[in-house]
Homo-oligomer: A and B are copies of this chain.
Amino acid sequence: MSTTTSNSSRTAPTEYLKGPDETYAYRRVGGGIRRPLICLQHFTGTLDNWDPAVIDPLASDREVILFDSAGVGRSTGQVPTTVAGMARHALDFLDALCLVSCDVLGFSLGGMVAQQMALDRPSTVHRMILAASAPRGGEDIMHLEKPGLARYLGDPTLKGYAVLQKLFFAPTPSSQAAGGKFVERLGERTEDLDTPSGPAVAAAQIAAFREWEQSTATRFGDLKDIEQPTLVVNGVHDEMIPIANSYRLVENLPNAVLLAYPDSGHGSLFQYHESFTRQVSAFLSSNSPLAPY
């Protein structure tokens, strides 16, 4: 395990770690005495998609570790077509880091991977934050063919991160303004950039969403086995993974708190980064076995 670190995700160097099957690209930000926080990324997102306004404050008193799953960015291998496959890569990566216990921030797809990790190896996951995510068997998960999403994805005038401003933020002046600032912040990293995701990454991850929409025999029944304190976060106008999925998470996870934000969509954590990082820091700092903090 390297000791290279940085106080900002804008400048943290990309490092590489060999696991049993693949070599994973990752970055380490900040440091401190607290348990490390592993961040699991959204659909087609790479290391470069983490907002420094979210990562850097969280890294002020802990190490935050950003990670590309297999086949994403500069990690080797194929993108799995199931969330379970992605969870195995995340656990392989943590094993290679010799991390036996960590906190996990999973955003969107990353939140599904976090749930699966907690089910597959509970001892590794201490506390979880599930932002704009969904339970297995959830509804209307990442249907990019919906008119409300397709109009942006098919718009050739939206270059680079501009499509994220439309997709992650509500169609109000205030939310779109926050989206503009988010895009600016992502642009502040200019060197050592990750390889953008192509259609093959997107296709495999969409297949994983479709598989995740399949319910177990007892709908949401697997959530009862996730005992880790969990903070569920979402914006009330999320078009990509509607907030009803966050309602089902908090209703069925035995130990979860829901924080829902107004005037915001899939990227509420970026829009309200000051509130989000304050709440997450308080949640992660709690010594209680219960989620309320």
CB interface residues, A 239-262, toward B, < 8 Å? 243, 247, 250-251, 253-262
Contact indicator per residue, chain A 212-238, by CB within 8 Å of chain B (1) or not (0): 000000000000000000000000100
Q: How many copies make up the complex?
A: 2
Nearest B residue to A259 by beta-carbon distance? B259
**Which of B262, B272, B275 sits near A250, CB closer than 8 Å?**
B262
How many of A's residues come within 8 Å of B, CB to CB? 25
Q: How far is the CA of A256 from the CA of B292 in the complex (A)?
A: 19
Identity of the chain B residue whose Cβ is nearest the Cβ of A261 in the assembled complex = B292
Residues of B within 8 Å of A243, CB to CB, are: 247, 251
* Contact, CB under 8 Å: A263 / B259: no
User: Do A254 and B262 touch (CB < 8 A)?
Assistant: yes
Contacts of A291 in B (CB 8 A): 262
A161 within 8 A of B: no
Contact between A262 and B272 (Cβ–Cβ < 8 Å)?
no
Interface flags, A105-132, vs B, CB<8A=1, else 0: 0000000000000000000000000000
Verify if A293 is at the interface (C-beta below 8 Å from B): yes
**Which residues from chain B contact A259 at a C-beta distance below 8 Å?**
257-259
Bound-complex Cα distance A276 to B257 (A):
12
B263 and A255 within 8 A (CB): yes
Supply 18 further A-B pairs (C-beta < 8 A) apart from A236-B250, A255-B262, A257-B262: A236-B251, A243-B247, A250-B260, A250-B262, A253-B262, A254-B263, A255-B263, A256-B262, A257-B259, A257-B260, A257-B261, A258-B259, A258-B260, A262-B291, A272-B290, A275-B292, A276-B292, A278-B293
Return chain B residues, CB-CB under 8 Å to A274.
Answer: 292
CB distance from A288 to the nearest CB of B (A): 9
- A275 to B262, Cβ gap below 8 A? no
Contact flag A272-B292 (CB < 8 Å), given A236-B250, A247-B247, A250-B236: yes
Cα-based distance from A293 to B276 in the complex (angstroms): 8
Hey, which chain B residues are within 8 Å of A262, CB to CB? 250, 253-257, 290-292
Nearest B residue to A274, CB-CB: B292
Residue in chain B with minimal CB distance to A246: B260
Task: Please report the C-alpha to C-alpha distance between residue A256 and residue B247 in the assembled complex, in whole angstroms.
Answer: 16
Q: Which residues of B contact A255 (CB under 8 A)?
A: 262-263
A275 touches B293 (CB 8 A): yes
Chain B residues positioned under 8 Å from A258 (CB to CB): 258-260
Q: Which of A253, A254, A258, A272 has the most CB of B within 10 A?
A: A258
Chain B residue contacts of A276, Cβ below 8 A: 292
